[in-house]
Amino acid sequence: MNAKQKMRHILDVIADMFPDAHCELNHSNPFELTIAVLLSAQCTDETVNKVTASLFQKYKRPEHYLDVPLEELEQDIRRIGLFRSKASNIQKLCRIVIDKYDGEVPASHEGLTELPGVGRKTANVVMSNAFGVPAIAVDTHVDRVSKRLGVAKPDDTVLEVEKKLMKLVPREEWTLTHHRLIFFGRYHCKAQSPQCQICPLLELCKEGKQRMKPGNKTKNKGIKPKIASRG
């Protein structure tokens, strides 16, 4: 099995496990998605959605974020990790969006990555989900799963992982693959307690096979065979 055949097998298995994989950040337009992804750095989507439920009611447009003192915005997102720096970046981002892009989030990767707090991953998420441009955003789940399954090397950078996935996955499947790899990592191949003993891809995972060796204290015990919890 060559690299592309291996990737095809992985994609097909994960597609069967998570056929409904999708972006779990609640949003109604590209601007809201940009803010949500910015907030999601080092924070769970679940927490972000709780915060944005009220945040997006209060702030509809970029200018609304600039109509309040920075301290007020900080309090509005206080439950989010790194809320002070994120609040500052949001206001800086909104100023640029208003001054340079007439109040609309730029629909280009280059324009997005110029915005404060927006890196390559955020730009990829916005481009693929808001503007329909195929992209693979490599977050902690995609990075972990790709390395565990041998698609990427353990010491590969995030950019190297992204480039390898782009080479192995058909372009028209990039966005969906991004979502499915996230679901696989978030609900099945977890960082601390991966469900190795019921994993259909165990044979491709050196770490998983090591975990499952008799007598290994890290071996999972008592995990019932469920694929995902949407909680």
Active site residue 217: no
Report whether 43 belongs to an annotated binding site: no
Give 170-205 as a DSSP string: -GGGHHHHHHHHHHHHHHTS-SSS--GGG-TTGGG-
Identify the active-site residue in 76, 139, 143, 147.
139
Report whether 196 belongs to an annotated binding site: yes
CA 142 – CA 14 distance, rounded (Å)? 12
- Block residue for tokens 């945040």: 55
The CA distances from residue 137 to 127, 155, 176, 212, in Å, are 10, 18, 11, 30
Distance, CA of 132 to chain centre: 16
Q: Which residue type, as a one-letter code, is found at position 174?
A: W
Beta strands in 113-213 (DSSP E): none
Report whether 94 belongs to an annotated binding site: no
Report whether 189 belongs to an annotated binding site: yes
Identify the active-site residue in 121, 143, 147, 164.
121
Active site residue 121: yes
Catalytic residues: 121, 139
Binding positions are 189, 196, 199, 205
